[in-house]
Amino acid sequence: MQNTIRIIGIDPGLRRTGWGIIDTLGNSLRFVASGTVTSDGDMDLASRLCQLHDGLADVVHSYKPEEAAVEQTFVNKDAVATLKLGQARGIAMLVPARAGLPVSEYAPNAVKKTVIGVGHGEKQQIHMMLKILMPKAEFKGNDAADALAIAICHAHHRGANRMRQAVASASATHP
């Protein structure tokens, strides 16, 4: 008998980190909640990272997901912005890991391909597909919508991820 698995998808950002929670049972998806954790741009970097940490920790504590998925960082032209995004992404991975959740990572193109069928789609296409896949889904803004898409991507790929981890674990213990 299959059990419902609760997944949190996280779209990291220093200003806004989106989060989306879904329940999955087999191939069915059910929207649970979504939102955005924000940091105060007038504060120093360490304080902003603390705000993101505390906000995400509250979400994980409140909704008790069993697995987490985080979008991978892309490198852009501005090295300082890329570094700051990487630090926010570190928080997005740390919070669920500290809560004992397995954390998977997905490239932005993999998320889009899973949700809308192509790796280079527009935000409106993602929003439209979220409403088709989960008619009761509510999200304010692109960050929460992207986080839901990340959670859906994980729901579709989690079996393959578990198999890869089992193979890696077996080969590490039996050289």
Only one residue has tokens 């649970």, namely: 32
CB-CB contact of 36 with 143 (8 Å): yes
In angstroms, the CA 95 to CA 141 distance is: 22
Q: Is 42 a catalytic residue?
A: no
Q: What is the β-pairing status of strands 103-106 and 67-71?
A: parallel
Q: Check 11, 23, 40, 105 and give the catalytic one.
A: 11
Q: Is 71 a catalytic residue?
A: yes
In angstroms, the CA 47 to CA 40 distance is: 8
In angstroms, the CA 23 to CA 150 distance is: 13
Take residue 92 and report the two structure tokens written for it: 């997005």
Q: Check 54, 66, 143, 146 and give the catalytic one.
A: 143
In angstroms, the CA 172 to CA 90 distance is: 26
Indicate the SS3 state at residue 143. Answer: helix
Q: Is 105 a catalytic residue?
A: no
Q: Check 42, 71, 122, 146 and give the catalytic one.
A: 71
Upper half-sphere CA count for residue 108 (Cβ side, 13 Å): 12
The catalytic site residues sit at 11, 71, 143
